[in-house]
Every structure is written in structure tokens, then in C-alpha cells.
Amino acid sequence: MRHFDLSPLYRSTVGFDRMLSLLDQATGTEPAVTYPPYNIERTGETAYRITVAVAGFSEEDLSIEVKENTLLIRGSKEKEEPQPRAEMLYQGIAARAFERRFQMAEHVEVTGASLRNGLLHVELVRKIPEAQKPRRIEINGARVVEASRQAA
């Protein structure tokens, strides 16, 4: 039993549509995509890095796009003319097109990308708006009461 019916939650909640859709996708029966392999790591308190193995792809073959909290990495190689003198005996390096999607939390932004040694590194940082950061509230109720009595 790997499938959960979340439709009752859609009827009784407001504003949680995105979260429930993500849960639906996570529990779906779609086959897992395994190409290309990737790592997700935390590099700081609010910094992250996604590393995708893209051996054989150049910068021109890759595209990175962010839309509505979804990071989309695509790779597509142009078909090269086979050289008449080279005969491929075994081809273990995949050069097929791919599309890899990552769901990002709110306030996560892509800050840069680099391609080194066949690895695509995408840097992300979580920037929480000042209005949503926790703030300390001083408790000084006794002073406020005294000040209001003096004004009267």
C-alpha cells in the first residue's frame, strides 16, 4: 500500500494546495528518474548546492531555469556527425537528453552555477524576508503603565 488518497484534504483546507500537490507527486506511482545522478548538500546555515553529473555536456548543451519555485535543469546534445574513421566498440557514457526538476521551498533563490570536471554545481541560498524573521519583543509592561499614569 504505497498510494494515499489526499482528496479529502483538498476539500477541507485552504492555502495548502501546493503542499498537497507535492505530497501527491511524492507518493505517486511514476517510475523514479535516475539520470543524471545528482547530490544535494547543505553548504552553510542557509546555503545549499545541487551537483548534477553531466559528463560529456558543455555549457552550451545545458540550460537552467527557475519558475514558480521549481528549478529545471535541461541537457541536450547536438547530434555530432560520426567520424568515418572511428568505430565505436562500446559506448558507456550516456549523452541522451535529460530534464531534471527540483522543487524549492519559499524564499530559496539560485545564486549561481558552474560547470567543472563534468559536474554542474547550482548554488542556492534561502533568503528570509526581514518581516518574516523572528524578532525579540521586550517585556516592559510595568513601565508602560507608569508612563500612561504620569500623562494623565
For the segment 72-98, what is each residue's pLDDT rounded down to a tens digit? 999 998 766 656 667 878 878 777 899
Q: What values do phi and psi take at 73, rounded to 5?
A: -115, 125
Per-state percent for the chain, helix, strand, coil, to nearest 5: 20, 30, 45
pLDDT at residue number 122: 95
For residue 142, pLDDT over 70 is answered with no
Rounded to two decimals, the pTM is: 0.65
Q: How many CB atoms lie within 10 A of CB 69?
A: 14
Instruction: Tell me the pLDDT of the chain averaged across its residues.
Output: 79
Task: State the average pLDDT over residues 117-123.
Answer: 94
Residue whose C-alpha is closest to residue 113's, from 124, 102, 103, 101: 124
Higher pLDDT, 138 or 13: 138
pLDDT tens string 2-26: 566 666 666 555 556 666 666 766 6
Complete domains list, the chain, with CATH: 1-30 (no CATH), 36-80+91-134 (2.60.40.790)
